[in-house]
Amino acid sequence: MGAILSILKLEIKSYLTNTSALFWTFIYPILMLLLLIFVFSKNTTEIFYFNNIIGLMGLLIISSAIFGLTQAITSSRSHNIFLFYMLSPATFKQITLALIASRLIVVILYAFIFIVLSFYALNIITILNFKALILGFVSVFSSALFCFCLAIFVARIFQNEQSILGFCNIINLYALMSCNVFVPLEYLPNIGQLFIKTSIFYYLNQLLIKLFKGLILYWF
């Protein structure tokens, strides 16, 4: 247990000092939020802002997982950091869990700070209630866990950082469309809607939206 906690602390520190991870986790969502505020300020409907902020939070989770974790893994691999971890009493499974947990802690905390401050800045904080926050936590945790597991799978396939970066850009663009940020799904042509609805990220975004509205999904 002590070895896992040590790895967890080291990975959190590593994550918070990784320039790429910091950009995709902290700066990228804020830039997108500023774009939402200043470019789409004429659309003042609460539902528009609500859906877009949830979509941005979904992008935050996806970007931090795909870009942050995969690049951290490849960098650690190239510097033989994992060899240092393997010399500890922790098993490979425990090391993997510590890697995921370190990212989950940072991303979930920041996701909630981001959504509360965004709702407050846009004066729609009254939409949130205790039930919505509890269900929202469940949805954020589930989505983040899935994305980080996906990131580890991607890192196992690609062996160098450039290949990962190219693949991550494709996923990020797909996720941007799937989360319906700035462009509602109903505004797209039928073929575009069909394309987006085949994405797992679309359903993750719908999960986030429904649960942050305080709706319990028995079918998801």
CB within 8 A of 91, min separation 6: which ones? none
Residue 29 lies in a domain: yes
Q: How many domains does the chain have?
A: 1
Residue 217 lies in a domain: no
Range of the domain at 205: 2-212
Query: How high does pLDDT run on average in the chain?
Result: 78
The structure's pTM equals 0.81
pLDDT at 165: 73
Write the pLDDT tens digit of every residue in 147-204. Answer: 888 877 777 777 776 777 777 778 877 887 788 777 777 777 888 888 888 888 888 8
Residue 220 lies in a domain: no
Write the pLDDT tens digit of every residue in 76-116. Answer: 665 566 666 666 777 777 777 777 788 788 888 888 888 88
Residue 218 lies in a domain: no
The residue written with tokens 């979930």 in the block is: 108
pLDDT at 71: 65
Residue 135 lies in a domain: yes
Residue 219 lies in a domain: no
